[in-house]
Structure 1
Amino acid sequence: MPDLLDWRRELHPDRVAVEVHGVATLTFAEWSAGAEQVAAALHRRGLRPGDRVGLVFGARDWTRFAVAYCGVLRAGAVAVPLSERLAAGQLQHALTHCAAGAVLHGDDTEPPAAPTGTPVWPVADLIAEPTTGPELPPVRPDDLAQILYTSGTTGQPKGVGASHANLTAGAPNHPRRLALGHSERFLHAYAIGTNAGQTMLFNALTAKAAALTLPRFTPVRFARLVEAPGTGTLFVVPSVAIELLDSGALRGRDLSGVQLIGSTAAALPPAVAARLAETFPAATIVNYYTSTEAAPAQTTMIYDPARRDAVGRPVGGQLMVGDADGNPLPAGATGDVWLRSPHPRAYYRDEAANRATFRDGWVRMGDVGRIDADGYLYLTDRHQDVIKSGAFKISTLEIEAVLHEHPLVAEVAVVGVPHPVLGSVVAAAVVPRPEAAPEELSLSTLRGFLAGRLADYQLPARVLLLEQLPRNEGGKVLKRQLVGRFDN
């Protein structure tokens, strides 16, 4: 990774690489110089190659985070990106689990409470120190570079380790091969500490376009930057896309400059993809399917009305649907989804989880799906989200996709709730659009809308109207938190 930064500094020293709108900009020359200062300061303070360094930063501190991240890697240490919005217990778990040797934080971030004896330093102090000192040891491709903690939607977050070789797989090696060449800037609102956020950092290193983000997301602020000259690419999660579309913030704006919209972190409902395509007629809508464990392997799907439910074909790795033992299944058969990337990742200090998830470079994604004869992947559901009701196994994704077609449904999450006879029944948590009256989204009206579109056993037995769905930092719905709400 340090080599990539050196390469961009030589190519484009004065070009802006990262911008937090209205707060700060960072050129490649500034990025490289700051990283060298951080690396030298860490070495003087006793950090050594392989030591883990927690990085606790918020959205206003993206430029400082970029410097700190590359400085840690230049020192041969391991970066552990963490959001400032984590609860104290979550932060303590991550820093204790990885045995962090130090914690760095940004200018606008309160000093985090680290485990006893772990030093906490503002990155600004390290940047201000001189770079003089002993020569830093070389960084090797197989060295551990970062640990990202998973979202914890299915249990305690796990640390996923990635080597320098994994992070730089597919990186350009020629100026003409820089990504996003159609844009001057790519706009995103991803959180630091997520896999999507790390992808944006990597894009800042390898794309022709500069990374642009906001100190705080609101639909209106984001929409203003969408319309700004030079914004040719948007990266969103489905919940942000829905909020933008439903807020009215895009209405009346010139959106013709946007040529690419990428969605990741969760499945993009087909109805939402169709609305994006209608709202941004000049843009290509792309859905990316991957995970923190599988990156950079992924599938990509350009929105195609003829394949509304597909999540694409593999890019940057291999795709397989297999049986319970990991043996490949033929086209059309339903089974476990696996992705394989060069230089695979692994859970840090968790051999039991590694045995369950990783096998010969393949990663079990935790999803059930099938691959058609043309190589397109279709997801059935998350393993733990499949509803077993009587003799039926019910896909929550299928029901959610149809509910998203309802004109008064803004967001929806489907879960299984306990039933004394059937085991579980379908329950839908619905966020109405502002113009919706409660009676228009009652259980009977929603069942009437779904009748004829879904089988009778797929129809919700319970409906709950909410102002918002519980989500983690990466935008994924926390379905486990929803199940108990149907008891109230």
Structure 2
Amino acid sequence: MRVTLPSLLRQRAATDPDRVAMTVHGSGSLTFGEWEARSDGVAAALAGRGVAAGDRVGLVFGNADWLEYAVAFFGVIKAGAVAVPLSDRLATADADAMLAHCGAATVLRPGELTYATGEVELPAPGALAQILYTSGTTGRPKGVSATHANLAHGCGGKRRPFAHSDHLAHAFPIGTNAGQWMLVNAADAHPAVVTLPRFTPSRFAALIEHYRAGTVFLVPAMAIEMLGSRVHDRHDLSSVQLLGSAAAPLPARVAAELGGAFPNATIVNYYTSTEAAPAQTVMIVDPDRPSSVGRPASGGAVRVATAEGEPLPSGVTGEVWMRSPAGARAYYGDAAATAEVFRGGWVRMGDLGYLDDDGYLYLVDRDSDVIKSGAYKVSTIHVEDAVYQHPEVREAAAFGVPHATLGKAVAVAVVGSVAHEELRMFLKGRLAPYELPVRVVTLDALPRNHGGKVDKRALREVVR
């Protein structure tokens, strides 16, 4: 029988019940035996309440509730129901809209779990297991449905992932693809997964130091905050052997600085999406390819093609497509959007990029973020890379603003102490004239969604 997450947890609980699977620092830990028994109790209680196979169950939890969330998630999918993870940081109206969209039969929140006894028959690999909503950076969030086979693809091997370390530290929020990845790691990987109720640079660095974590995962925004706070001057981060960045491309300057802050770590950039997971590209940061997001891993495939899916030669910019080895996912309740994005086993990523002659992928921009300025198309990623080269810039985001003559022009938001005119002069030798910002704004922090991605729609509102 193909492995599923419930069958994997059952096996680990049987062979190593007292081993810690997950810890929330300052709150407690969860062993495999406890995780198995408590999630069985939740599954039985849900069945007793009339929750049937295929029913959608909302899970609204915060980062302080990772242990209870892990129990709830596995209890829901063991019951044959469909887990719908949502962060408690979402606006109430947004969360309600998502729960209404998927037709949730019930909602579980912290402190609301009930337990019962009874036989729990594990679901089949092909059954629907999860609906995970996208961040909605380019429009209305869409619910991506995944089967048990999707979620557990690649799990249960003889060699557990990240075997070089005893602890894996992260600060990803619940309700994101990155957070889901950490939940799977807690069930499948060798190290115990540790997190903290609320991310701050100092707390996260202290967490790494306390547990001597050998594996660390973060998003670029967290990396930038940690470097800006110089936590590496106050904490011993030498235990880290693998530092992985996900959710957004890691700026080249930030990647280079991470190498100094984590002296023994291999810095790795991961590129995927909720729709394409577990397919991904992986890039060990290489000074010769500082802006590449790598080559395919995990049995997936990547191509650059036209909107119709016709492959393009190396060096030619086009749409990025990714193929998952786990079988296609879909948008729940949205056949039209599914047909637009999921085609013949391939997923349109919504990004523009190109492949070099060695098969390394370079992102040019998010398709919806490209600035069409007069006769030119401007890559915001390219502009941001140039801005990040200024030593006084801590964070940067480029975006399009209306322009009377060109239609749209480039604007840049920065976090840092650089004077606007100084930045413009700095960029003149690094960007083409049509790429230079017509407007620069300084902010205390860039607006981000709960997944850590810059919210460029919110930035456009700032400069209106």
TM-score tier by shorter-chain length is over 0.9
Asked if 1:329 corresponds to 2:312, the answer is: yes
**1:400-459: CA deviation from partner (whole Å, max 9, x where unpaired):** 112112111111110011111111111001111xxx3xxx321x2111111221212111
Asked if 1:29 corresponds to 2:13, the answer is: no
Cα distance in 2 for residues equivalent to 1:101 and 1:214: 30
Instruction: Give 1:145-156 correspondences, 5 Å limit.
Output: 145-156=129-140
Unaligned runs of 5+ in 2: none
Instruction: Give 1:5-16 correspondences, 5 Å limit.
Output: 5-16=9-20
Q: State the 1:486 CA deviation.
A: 1.6
Cα distance in 2 for residues equivalent to 1:475 and 1:218: 13
Instruction: Give 1:293-332 correspondences, 5 Å limit.
Output: 293-316=275-298, 317-332=300-315
Equivalent in the alignment of 1:460: 437
**1:256-283: CA deviation from partner (whole Å, max 9, x where unpaired):** 1110100011111011000001211210
Unaligned runs of 5+ in 1: 108-121
Aligned equivalent of 1:344, options 312, 316, 328: 328
**1:225-246: CA deviation from partner (whole Å, max 9, x where unpaired):** 1222431111100000000110
Q: State the 1:41 CA deviation.
A: 0.4
Equivalent in the alignment of 2:205: 223
Aligned equivalent of 1:441, options 419, 424, 446: 419
Asked if 1:193 corresponds to 2:175, the answer is: yes
Equivalent in the alignment of 2:68: 64
CA contact (8 A) 2:86 2:95 kept: yes
Q: Which runs of 4+ in 1 moved over 3 A?
A: 135-138
Asked if 1:242 corresponds to 2:213, the answer is: no
RMSD over aligned CA atoms reads 1.1
Letter in 2 for 1:186: L
Asked if 1:140 corresponds to 2:144, the answer is: no
Tell me, what secondary structure is at the counterpart of 2:463? Answer: helix
Cα distance in 2 for residues equivalent to 1:441 and 1:398: 21
Aligned equivalent of 1:104, options 105, 108, 111: 108
CA contact (8 A) 2:42 2:116 kept: no
Q: State the 1:138 CA deviation.
A: 4.1
Tell me, what secondary structure is at the counterpart of 1:363? Answer: strand
CA contact (8 A) 1:277 1:285 kept: yes
Q: State the 1:74 CA deviation.
A: 0.6
**1:296-343: CA deviation from partner (whole Å, max 9, x where unpaired):** 001010000000010000112111110121111121111000001121
Asked if 1:95 corresponds to 2:99, the answer is: yes
Letter in 2 for 1:198: Q
Cα distance in 2 for residues equivalent to 1:243 and 1:237: 10
Cα distance in 2 for residues equivalent to 1:370 and 1:192: 32
Cα distance in 2 for residues equivalent to 1:32 and 1:215: 23
Q: TM-score, normalised by structure 1?
A: 0.92
Asked if 1:209 corresponds to 2:191, the answer is: yes
Instruction: Give 1:319-468 correspondences, 5 Å limit.
Output: 319-341=302-324, 342-432=326-416, 436=417, 440-442=418-420, 444-468=421-445
Cα distance in 1 for residues equivalent to 2:429 and 2:95: 47
Aligned pair count reads 458
Q: State the 1:137 CA deviation.
A: 4.2
Equivalent in the alignment of 1:275: 257
Equivalent in the alignment of 2:456: 479
Tell me, what secondary structure is at the counterpart of 2:59? Answer: strand
Equivalent in the alignment of 1:184: 166
Cα distance in 1 for residues equivalent to 2:193 and 2:138: 31
CA contact (8 A) 2:232 2:262 kept: no
Cα distance in 1 for residues equivalent to 2:372 and 2:10: 53
Q: State the 1:364 CA deviation.
A: 0.3
CA contact (8 A) 2:145 2:331 kept: yes
CA contact (8 A) 1:229 1:257 kept: no
CA contact (8 A) 1:42 1:75 kept: yes
Equivalent in the alignment of 1:38: 42
Q: State the 1:66 CA deviation.
A: 0.4
CA separation of 1:11 and 1:441: change in aligned 2, threshold 3 A: farther
Q: State the 1:142 CA deviation.
A: 0.9
Q: State the 1:391 CA deviation.
A: 1.1
Q: State the 1:178 CA deviation.
A: 0.4
Cα distance in 2 for residues equivalent to 1:290 and 1:130: 38
Q: TM-score, normalised by structure 2?
A: 0.97
**1:57-99: CA deviation from partner (whole Å, max 9, x where unpaired):** 1111100100110111111110000111111111111111111
Identity of aligned residues (%): 57
